[in-house]
Chains A and B, each alone.
Chain A
Amino acid sequence: MATVSVRQALKSFGTTRILHGVDVEIADGEFVVLVGPSGCGKSTLLRMIAGLENITGGEIAIDGRVVNNVPPKDRDIAMVFQNYALYPHMTVRQNMAFSMKLAKAPAAIMEEEVQRAAKILGLDALLDRFPRQLSGGQRQRVAMGRAIVRHPQVFLFDEPLSNLDAKLRVQMRSEIRELQQRLATTTIYVTHDQIEAMTMADQIVVMNGGRIEQAGAPLALYDKPANLFVAGFIGSPAMNLLPGMVADGGFRTTGGALLPLPPHAHTNVATYGIRPEHMSLSDDGVEGTIVLVEPTGSETQVTMRMGETVVTGAFRERVQGRPGDKLRVLPDLGLVHLFGPDGARLPS
């Protein structure tokens, strides 16, 4: 159990700078999810915390101790790799016991720890199998078992679910979360799946291009995205982000649509953001032409065109329209997000 602080961390591979000064504060027992598009440096940051990559600049501290020059084995960290990295020549039992064996733990303690972890993860029956005899989900659990038996100060997960099918992923997602709450171990979890991030995290850190765009609780990011990147990244379906300017008593998009602004709105708005689920069908709304109707059962997603501007709405009601029909929709003015020319959120 420990806090993790990353302060102004820099990372370069050769002359290419990958991380440009990253700050993350992680409280004891917190579940932090790093999200961001592919190649933004999430794995690199994680591997720096683990000690598998050296730190070009800045500082990483675990439980208050700066670990920049501490070798991985002395950081008391366990990591679950994306490809699990199970030792193929060892059984499940040996895989899980390996760290204890290296630490010369007595056989009885090793067996007890392995049994306990196996019980938690439902691996009891598989202890004598080799990794190649396991399914993807079982391998994933063995990788977690290997981490659990060590009672580390920090768990690191690098996209552990990306090799699993959708259903197993949902199941493992809740298993990991539940386990983390039970063990109350500080956890850093990397994913590029924002649903995983939203459902699992205490704190989400959104990264882009080697920088942190925003860090905060999942719903805080959803409700108050700090900039255009976070606004577009968090939430599914993605927020409508419509460029334009304040004019004609509302917001005139570059595509020609006129959208209502909340009262006392800033005059310097460059982008108008509205989530699809925050639009409603209304007779005094803005008129659009339906391009596509996608019913998902619980709601209906409608893509429509207002002038040249394409807007997506998600409605609880069943929309009966067909492409080409007209539809009137109204953004919920309390939930409109406005961004300035620099992409930053404008205070409302």
Chain B
Amino acid sequence: MAPGPDLLLQMYAGMLRVRLFEERVRELFANGRLPGFLHTSIGQEACAVGACAALRADDYVLSTHRGHGHLIAKGGALRGLMAELYGKANGVCHGKGGSMHLADASVNYLGANGVLAAGCVLAPGVGLSIKRRGSAQVVVTFFGDGAANRGPFHEGVNLAAVWTLPVVFFCENNRWASSTASSLSAAGGSIAARAAGYGIPGETVDGNDVLAVWEATTRAVLRARRGEGPSLIEARTIRWVGHFEGDAQAYRTKAEVEEGRRTDPLARLGRLLEARQLLDAAHAGRIRAGVVAEIDDAVAHAETSPLPAPQDALADLFASYPWSR
């Protein structure tokens, strides 16, 4: 099982799209253009892109507070996402959600989440509805190493396992939960090993190797589509930047960030593509220019879009309002 040239190039462009998008929003945030809190996934692109490349368009994704990459990789439009980060009226959630609390139902991205591991218990329900429909879809729920220490992770895995539901539990282990080291907070030294307790496959992959991520996810997805139940994947990766924008990162050494840059998933795939003569400098330049143009467009669109009217705060609470106040 190996991805063909088209998919490799698609994953390269996908990772570049996430990387450059995240770099741009950091810049915009630093310039005061974006309200709220911001968590970016720079360094972790291979997880989002490798996993989502193994999915069909009608598969579902549940995401986290660090969710821009998951949405972009799932095929979400940059315009709607960027406008939402700006809090604009035509953002994908009309400004109600923002970075940490947004969803894009048009691509079956069922939500970033401000509450860690929340997706782990939503996922079995998505799996249940898939199973009832017999649609052979799959749901991937992303979560961090920190979130794997919450009860909902265990409850969700157990339920999906005992009911044989088409769920892929995808843990991005970036070594840190905010300022707390995974090694000091997760017993047993391995998230993937927890799968054994629930009798499902658990696999650790190099989360900076997009091919390895794609392969592991493809295995898990095929198993789920065959009706054989859930899997757990732990992708080991490195976040290059602060937990949130403004994080002084007093808890870790510069060496770790340097290690991240040395194992850059994007450069790694670039080298592989060059070695296979699928990519040269000119081609790479064209891909980059295309992505930059897309992001420029999303920023320009967001900048010129209107803010929501204040009283729109009252809209969308229920499908209909049988009372006046």
Pair from one complex: no
| Chain B residues proximal to chain A, CB less than 8 Å | none
| Chain A residues proximal to chain B, CB less than 8 Å | none
